[in-house]
Chain A
Amino acid sequence: METLTLTTLAALNLLFSGNAELWEIIAISFRVSGVAILVATPPALLAAFFLTYQRFPGRRLLISINSTFLSVPAVVVGLTFFILLSRQGPLGEWKLLFTQTAMVLGQIALAFPILVAMGHSALQAADRRAWETARTLGANPLRALFTIMREARFGLMAALLAAFGRIIAEVGASMMLGGNILHYTRNIPTAIALESSKGEFAQGIALGLVLLTLAFTLNALLQHIQGKGQPVT
């Protein structure tokens, strides 16, 4: 078996030699997870807002339920959607199983609870008076909503990054719902699983490096933005 160093070198070589198949897998990962985050974020933030600013019976229960979904394993989400989307399932007629859309659905389900939970705590931490002030100054609810979102933007951005990090790195749901089809539903995590099962560790490491680089870039970006937002002392 090759050493870790040699494997990593081979991986870097793969990445920078412009291996088309590798880059296609990376593109699929970003496309699927990007769409999932885009679709999941608006309703999730709205839900977080209602949980923070509205008082209604069952609110606490909803928060607990949402937090429970944070711990649902990705494979269970995958299996649930598999059963729903299979031709034998209730949504079988849509024929979505083994498509990118199915992967997006699974990833939305994974990202949603994270966005709600972290969005909820970010909004809670924001100054409540922002909402009241905006409303008193005559802003309509929508306008006032954006004011608070702005107030809580760092927390919300952290929520976005955490959710994106979870879905771009998860293998269980993507494997079940996408089927790991080359050029179509093979993304970074399923490719790593496949390549390592074949003993092709270099490609697995190369893709792992891409994920790490991505995580670092996003977090550095967040740090940078947050740094700008800090009050000058």
Chain B
Amino acid sequence: MTTPLFQRLARWLVVAILFAAGSAGADNNPNKTIRLATTTSTDNAGLLAELLPPFTASTGYPVHVIAVGTGKALRMGRDGDVDLVLVHARAAEDKFVAQGYGEKRYGVMYNDFVLVGPESDPAAIAAAKDATTALKKLADHQAIFVSRGDDSGTHKKELSLWKRAAIEPNGDGYREAGQGMGKVLQIASELDAYTLTDRGTWLAYQGKSPLKIAFQGDPLLFNPYGIIAVNPKRYPDINHRGADALIKWMISPDGQQRIGDFRIGDNQLFTPAADAGEFAAFSHGQ
């Protein structure tokens, strides 16, 4: 519904604003700025604040981080509103690439999910032999479980676990928050409830919560992160060079080293997991 008049008026308005805001010098060089949509788990834990300044220093690309759930991040990539995405939901990532929105998925790192809950562990899930049994125990006890409910990577993971356990998560104790990981941990703490969280956010948050890790260690809880440049064939004017530079840096030995070195207290949050062969191929292709 863009009539020429509307366009013209709107353009004038934008010009006026840009003029007014111009002195602020706020719009970093738009040709260099990289827009990265990522998940709250990488940003809230402080990893990106650690990784990005050295990247910007060595390449000259400033990075604008937009931290949302995985579902929304992929949506932004699909719409061409960002240059690349760093997310954790393997099935959705592969679909994103297969549909031609993303160029290629590169593995970057992994951590794992843990089930946290009240220290007394009323549903006794600590003794469960695997993650699905733990969920069954939660359902049997009608324990309060706070779900992200926001189509994030963690939420997708949680739903896939319920599915595997053949449980329809809609009992009395099941609460969908529709919020980010930090907020959900807060809610779970206040309600003395269980929830599924990535270890990174948990480590960053645990000092503020009376909850404890109730179950961990099942290979099903493995949480790999992938980085994908938005396809320049679909959006020719996105900052694809910048996106490539950031991917290359993240999977380079230097970037991987920094990921592995990132710690909160004594705890390593992420394990670097880039494929050396992929990095070599990437460098060669440049």
A96 within 8 Å of B (CB atoms): yes
B67 within 8 Å of A (CB atoms): yes
Find the A residue at minimum CB distance from B20. Answer: A35
A101 and B17 form a contact (CB under 8 A): yes
The CB with the most chain A CB atoms within 10 A, among B21, B28, B66, B67, is that of B21
Among the stretches A55-63, A177-185, A221-229, the one at the interface with B is A177-185
Cα(A108)–Cα(B14), bound, Å: 11
B57 within 8 Å of A (CB atoms): no
The CB with the most chain B CB atoms within 10 A, among A28, A31, A87, is that of A87
Choose one: B21, B64, B79; the contact of A88 (CB below 8 Å). Answer: B79
A-B pair count, CB < 8 Å, reads: 82
A8 within 8 Å of B (CB atoms): no
Mask of B200-241 contacts with A, CB within 8 angstroms, 1/0: 000011001100000000000000000000000001010000
| Given A39-B17, A101-B18, A104-B17, CB of A197 within 8 Å of CB of B2 | no
Mask of A68-105 contacts with B, CB within 8 angstroms, 1/0: 00000000000000000011101110111111110011
Among the stretches B87-95, B115-123, B180-188, B242-250, the one at the interface with A is B180-188
Cα(A198)–Cα(B43), bound, Å: 11
| Given A39-B20, A184-B28, CB of A98 within 8 Å of CB of B81 | yes
- Which A residues, 176 to 213, have Cβ-Cβ distances below 8 Å to chain B? 179-182, 184, 197-199
A91 and B18 form a contact (CB under 8 A): no
A1 within 8 Å of B (CB atoms): yes
Find the A residue at minimum CB distance from B67. Answer: A180
| Contact partners of A105 in chain B: CB under 8 A | 13-14, 17
A4 within 8 Å of B (CB atoms): no
- Judged by DSSP, the binding face of B is mixed
Cα(A88)–Cα(B78), bound, Å: 9
A198 and B30 form a contact (CB under 8 A): no
Find the A residue at minimum CB distance from B68. Answer: A179
The CB with the most chain B CB atoms within 10 A, among A28, A86, A96, A179, is that of A179
B26 within 8 Å of A (CB atoms): yes
| Contact partners of A90 in chain B: CB under 8 A | 1-2
Mask of A103-126 contacts with B, CB within 8 angstroms, 1/0: 011001000000000000000000
Cα(A198)–Cα(B182), bound, Å: 5
B10 within 8 Å of A (CB atoms): yes
| Contact partners of A100 in chain B: CB under 8 A | 21, 24, 26-27
Interface size class of chain B, counting residues whose CB lies under 8 Å from the partner chain: 35 or more
- Closest chain-B Cβ to A8's Cβ sits at a distance in Å of 17
A65 within 8 Å of B (CB atoms): no
Mask of B1-35 contacts with A, CB within 8 angstroms, 1/0: 11000000010011011101100101110100001
| Contact partners of A99 in chain B: CB under 8 A | 27
B20 and A38 form a contact (CB under 8 A): yes
Cα(A35)–Cα(B20), bound, Å: 7
B183 and A97 form a contact (CB under 8 A): no
- Closest chain-B Cβ to A101's Cβ sits at a distance in Å of 6
- Closest chain-A Cβ to B1's Cβ sits at a distance in Å of 7
B159 within 8 Å of A (CB atoms): no
- Closest chain-B Cβ to A14's Cβ sits at a distance in Å of 17
B80 within 8 Å of A (CB atoms): yes
| Contact partners of A31 in chain B: CB under 8 A | 21, 24, 26
- Closest chain-A Cβ to B237's Cβ sits at a distance in Å of 8
| Contact partners of B28 in chain A: CB under 8 A | 184
A residues contacting B by CB (< 8 A) are: 1, 28, 31, 35, 38-39, 86-88, 90-92, 94-101, 104-105, 108, 179-182, 184, 197-199
> What are 5 A-B contacts defined by CB distance under 8 Å?
A86-B81, A87-B79, A96-B14, A99-B27, A179-B64
Question: Top 7 closest A-B pairs, CB basis?
Answer: A87-B80, A179-B66, A199-B208, A197-B183, A197-B182, A90-B2, A181-B64
Q: Contacts A99-B27, A101-B18, A108-B13 given; 6 further ones with Cβ under 8 A?
A: A95-B30, A98-B35, A100-B21, A105-B13, A199-B182, A199-B185
